[in-house]
Copies of this chain bind each other. A is one copy, B any other.
Amino acid sequence: MATLKEIAREAGVSVSTVSLVVNGKPCVSQDKRQRVIEIIRARKYVPNYAARALRKRHAARTYAIGVLTPAPLIAFSSSSHVYRIIAGAEQAVKQKKYHLVLGSLEPLAEGIFHLPRMLEAGEVDGILIISTAALEMEKIVGSVASFSTPVVLCGYPGQDFNLPSVLIDNEKAAYEATLALLKSGYPKVATITGPLSYPSAAARLRGYRLALVENGLFPDETLVEEGDFSELSGAEAMKRLLRHLTPPFGVFVAGDFMAKGALNVLAASGVRVPEQAGVFGFDDVEYVVQSTKPALSSVRAPWEEVGRQAVSYLLALPSSGTAPPTIMLPCELKVRGSSNPNGGGSC
C-alpha cells in the first residue's frame, strides 16, 4: 500500500501538498494537483483510515452506527421487528455514507450479558438498541450508559430508562383496533392479552379498556383472558371466553398467532367470522394474516420507520445534554375480512 510520503516523493512535492489534494482542498496549483492525482491513480493510493482518525483525534467519526440486538439474529423469526428496524436503519444511514455494524447480546447467565466489542472501544458514533416486548433491559442499559456514545432505544415501550427512545404506541393501537370492532357493529368486545407481566401486553390491555369506557361500555373482567402469544394459548383463551360469550361479539387479540388459534376455535364452534364474530389481531405477521380464512385484520407497527427515526436522531444528536426525548409512532390498522361484516367476509 502506497503512503502519502511515497506519492509525494514520486510527484516531487511535499506530503502537505498531497494531503491537500487528497482532501480536495482548493489551494493547490493546477499542474501539481494534476500530477499528484495521476500518481495516486497509478499507485492505487488509499488513505490510511487509522492514521486519519488518529490525527483528527476526537473529532474523527467512525461513520458507523452500531445496532445492538437482544439476541443473535438467528434467534428471530423472519417476521420479527428486529429485521424491519435494521432495514429501516440501513436505509437511513446509507444516505449519510454511514454503515451499520451489527452486534448482539448473548445471555451468559441470569442477567449477565456478554457485550459485543462494538460498545467498548468507541468504534461507532452511535448505538441503536433494539428491545423486545419481554426483554429485561436494565443490565444492558446500565452497561451502555457508562460509555459516551449516544444511544437510542427502539422497540416497545416498557420501563422508563431515561434514554432517547423511538417506540410504537401499543396503547393507542389497541384502542383503535377495539374501536374499529365496535364501529363494525359488534355490540361487545372481548380481548385476549399477552402475558401481563410484559409492559407492551399491559399497554394493549389499557388501550382496549379505554375504548370500551369511552363508548359507555363497562369493562367486564370476564371478557379478558390472558395468553402467551402462542397459537395454542389463543385457542384456549378463546374457549374460555366462549363459556360466557354469545355472538355477536368482537375479540381484540394482542397477537396474530393467538388470533389464529382463536379463529380455529370459532370455526370449530360454528361461530361464523365475520358475521357473528369479528377478530382483530396484532403485529400483522404476513404469513399468518394471509393464511386465515377470512384474512385476519391486524395492527401493523411501522418498524422500518422506527429504525429510520432512530438513525436520524443519532446522526443529529447535539453534544449538549438535552433531556432524552421519546418518540411514540402510531401503528396502522389493516382491516381485512375477519373484522368486517359489511365488506363481504369471503376475501
Contacts and interface: CB of A to CB of B under 8 A. Distances in A.
A146 to B, nearest CB: 7
A170 B74 CA distance: 24
Contacts of A76: 87
B46 A73 contact: no
Nearest to A65: B102
Interface string A284-295: 001110110000
Given A46-B122, A79-B78, A286-B287, A102 B100 contact: yes
A337 interface: no
Contacts of A148: 1
B53 A50 contact: yes
A54 interface: yes
A52 B54 CA distance: 9
A212 B216 CA distance: 69
Interface in A15-55: 44, 46-54
A101 B123 CA distance: 12
Nearest to A72: B91
Contact of A63 (B63, B72, B117): B117
A83 B84 CA distance: 10
Interface in A153-198: none
Contacts of A309: none
Interface string A62-104: 0110000000111010110001101110110010010111111
B102 A46 contact: no
14 contacts: A1-B122, A48-B54, A50-B50, A50-B60, A73-B90, A73-B91, A78-B83, A94-B106, A101-B101, A101-B102, A286-B287, A287-B288, A287-B290, A291-B291
Closest 7 CB pairs between A and B? A287-B287, A50-B53, A73-B87, A291-B291, A50-B54, A100-B102, A74-B87
